[in-house]
Amino acid sequence: MQPLVLGIETSCDETAVGIVHGRKLLANVISSSVEQHARFGGVVPEVASRAHLEAMQQVIAQALKDAKVNLSDVDALAVTAGPGLIGALLVGVSSASGLALGLNKPLYGVNHLSAHIAVDALDNEEKIQPSIALLVSGGHSSILQVNNLASDVIVKGATIDDAAGEAFDKIARIMGLGFPGGPVVDREAKLGSKDAINFPRGLTHANDLAAHQYDFSFSGLKTAVARYLQQTPNYKKADVAASFQEAVVDVLLQKSIAACKESGIDNLVIAGGVAANSRLRELAQERCSSAKIRLRIPPAGLCTDNGAMVAALGSLAISEGINPSQTGISADSAAGISQVIW
Ligand code: KG4
Ligand code: ZN
């Protein structure tokens, strides 16, 4: 029998609840406090925590309504226990713990990064493992070898400075495009030329590859864009956006495809908020089909933070026979990818 799992996500500025039945997505409700943070140019932790408290009950109620189930039908709870903003995480963990205790149902504290990858399994009959995963979000950018998402993930490389999403956010800020930067740069780039400016591709030269074959660096690119803006008074925003985006996407894909080839794994999963990027999706399709790599990217709406991914990982943990978390688990703001279930 497939379990009905309710997943809660509050690691950043989205209060999100998803409900899955096995691998079938039944509900995905998101309430975002992004507008309250926009004028600060970044997420303000205390504001995010308060917004989670205010939104939680309503978001849970809406998800149950959308899924056409009652709270008493839920077989298990899942919640993001890390990494993320500690105050924000604690609102989700406390809510989920209260529900689990009240309903006398198991609770799975899950890793946010693994959950981004787990969402790929929803409504997908075929499981692709082992796979190489490119995980690109606002806080993380890494290349992983996923032998088993719940128990065997090897980190092949990661960013040595900014995350890919953070680079989009910073570039959008210096060009005055707004926050969060990813979606606005993506939109602006459609109006410009990706070949207008040849921005640097970090850690792709032969002398860097020896030590950093699968690592990323975006700080040099950020400096190059800032210098270009300073030196070019009449720059075209759309050209800068498109050329910057191309530099990021090009490096992400060069390294992911190299990781597939070197490891002999011809499955690539791209996940995390930046996987919503339209140019990344398009170029990944092109390069993977010429390299004969099977590509999977979740629908754009499931790439950015959501509750469905948390429920999906909870459901996976149950199907793998993993024990639920202890009552009274806490959150870990700095959890690494090796801690999948608490
Ligand atoms: O995974 P996510 O929703 O939250 C974290 O776990 O960090 O990722 C958010 C990041 C932000 O930096 C945002 O600018 C970026 O994902 N992002 C995008 C796009 N949509 C969101 N980056 C590039 N293109 C997009 N369309
Ligand atoms: Zn995320």
Indicate whether 240 pLDDT > 90: yes
292: alpha, beta or left? (left if phi > 0; alpha if psi -120 to 50): left
- Tell whether ligand 1 has an atom less than 6 A from the beta carbon of residue 83: no
166: confidence class by pLDDT, cuts 50, 70, 90: very high
273 lines ligand 1 (CB under 6 A): yes
Same domain, 13 and 111: yes
Please report the pLDDT score of residue 126 as a whole number.
Answer: 81
Mean pLDDT calculated for residue range 125-152 = 94
Q: Is residue 170 located within the same domain as residue 49? A: no
**For residue 133, how many other CB atoms are within 10 A of its CB?**
29
Pocket lining: 33 vs ligand 1, CB cutoff 6 Å: no
- Domain check: are 258 and 282 in the same one? yes
**Among all ligands shown, which has an atom nearest to the Cα of 298?**
1
Distances (CA, A) of 58 to 17, 65, 220: 10, 11, 43
333 assigned to some structural domain: no
At 308, the pLDDT band (50, 70, 90 cuts) reads very high
Q: Is the CB of 252 under 6 A from ligand 1?
A: no
Peptide bond into 180 cis (omega under 30): yes
Query: What is the average pLDDT score of the chain?
Result: 97
**260 and 187 co-located in one domain:** yes
pLDDT > 90: percent of the chain:
96
Domain presence at residue 156: yes
Average pLDDT over residues 302-323: 97
Q: Do 241 and 167 share a structural domain? A: yes
SS3 category, 52? helix
Q: Measured in angstroms, how far is the CA atom of residue 216 from the centroid of ligand 1?
A: 17
| Ligand 1 atom 10, closest CA | 138
Ligand 1 lined by 304 (C-beta under 6 Å): yes
276 CB near ligand 1 (under 6 Å): yes
Strands 152-158 and 141-148, sheet pairing: antiparallel
Decide: 183 in ligand 1 pocket, CB within 6 A: yes
Shortest-distance atom of ligand 1 to CA 139: 7
183 and 116 both lie in a single domain: no
Cβ of 12 less than 6 Å from ligand 1: yes
Q: Confirm or reject: Cβ of 181 under 6 Å from ligand 1.
A: yes
Q: What is the pLDDT of residue 46?
A: 95
Which CATH number goes with the domain that contains 26? 3.30.420.40
Backbone angles phi, psi at 274, to 5 degrees: -70, -20
CA 271 to ligand 2 centroid distance, Å: 9
When pLDDT is cut at 50, 70 and 90, the band that residue 208 belongs to is very high
Q: Which residue's entry shows tokens 């998800």?
A: 63
CB distance 77 to 106 below 8 Å: yes
Same domain, 288 and 235: yes
> Rounded to a whole number, what is the largest CA-CA distance in the chain?
63
Band (340; pLDDT cuts 50, 70, 90): very high
Q: Which amino acid is at 206?
A: A
Average pLDDT of span 266-273:
98
CA 280 to chain CA centroid, nearest Å? 14
In a domain, residue 338? The reply is no
Rg (CA), the chain: 20
Banded pLDDT at 193 (limits 50, 70, 90): very high
CA–CA separation, 48 and 128 (whole Å): 35
Range of 185's domain?
Answer: 131-297
Distance 205 CA to ligand 1 centre (A): 27
Q: Which of 337, 335, 334, 273 is nearest to 304 (CA)?
A: 273
Q: Which residues of 66-78 are buried (b: 16+ CB within 10 A; e: fewer)?
A: ebebeeeebbbbb
Ligand 1 near 3 CB (within 6 A)? no
For ligand 1, whether the C-beta of 180 sits within 6 Å is yes
Q: What angle do CA 334, 338, 342 make, to 5 degrees?
A: 75
pLDDT of residue 176: 95
Mean pLDDT of 252-273: 98
Identify whether residues 164 and 88 lie together within a single domain. no
Query: Which residues, listed in sequence order, are joined to residue 270 by a DSSP beta bridge?
Result: 134
Q: For the chain, what is the total number of helices (H) and then of strands (E)?
A: 11, 10
Residue 1 has pLDDT above 90, yes or no: no
Residues 311 and 185 in one domain: no
Tell me if 305 CB under 6 Å of ligand 1. yes
Task: Give the number of the ligand closest to the Cα of residue 140.
Answer: 1
Residue 342: DSSP 8-state: -
What's the rounded mean pLDDT across residues 267-293? 98
Note the pLDDT of residue 39.
Answer: 84
Is 138 inside a domain boundary?
yes
Cis peptide before 233 (omega within 30 of 0): no
CA 308 to each of CA 70, 170, 340: distance values in angstroms, whole numbers, following the listed order? 17, 28, 16
Which residues make beta-bridge pairs with 4? 21
Interval 28-60: pLDDT, tens: 999 999 999 988 888 999 999 999 999 999 999
What is the spatial distance between Cα 137 and Cα 134, in angstroms, rounded to a whole number? 10
Cβ atoms 111, 313 nearer than 8 A = yes
Report how far residue 11's alpha carbon sits from residue 67's, in angstroms, rounded to the nearest whole number.
23
Q: Which of 89, 111, 116, 137 to mutate to test the pocket of ligand 1 (most atoms within 8 A of CB)?
A: 137
pLDDT band of residue 287 (cuts 50, 70, 90) is: very high
Checking DSSP bridges between strand 267-271 and strand 141-148, what pairing results, if any? Answer: unpaired
pLDDT computed for residue 128 by the predictor: 85
39 shares a domain with 141: no
Q: How far is the CA of 273 from the centre of ligand 2 (A)?
A: 6
pLDDT at 265 > cutoff 90: yes
Report the number of distinct structural domains present in the chain. 2
Same domain, 201 and 76: no
Least confident of 82-86, 123-127, 271-275: 123-127
pLDDT digit string, tens, across residues 92-134: 999 999 999 999 999 999 999 999 999 999 988 788 889 999 9
Using the mean position of ligand 2's atoms as its centre, give its distance from the Cα of residue 218 in Å.
Answer: 19
Q: Distance between the two ends of the chain, CA-based, in angstroms?
A: 24
Residue 59 is assigned to a structural domain of this protein: yes
Residue 14 belongs to some domain of the structure: yes
* Residue 20 neighbours by CB under 8 Å, 6+ apart: 4, 5, 7, 26, 122, 308, 311, 312, 315
Structure tokens that stand for 109 in this block: 């504290």
* 19-48 exposure pattern, b = at least 16 Cβ within 10 A, e = fewer: bbbbbebbbbbbbbbeeebeeeeebbbebb
298 pLDDT band (50/70/90 cuts)? very high
Residue nearest to atom 26 of ligand 1 (CA): 277
Judge if 234 and 95 occupy the same domain: no
Ligand 2 center to 136 CA (angstroms): 8
What pLDDT does residue 113 have?
A: 98
Instruction: Decide if 331 is inside a domain.
Output: no
Half-sphere exposure of residue 291, counting CA atoms within 13 Å on the CB side? 24
In a domain, 126, yes or no: no
Residue of minimum CA distance from atom 19 in ligand 1: 182
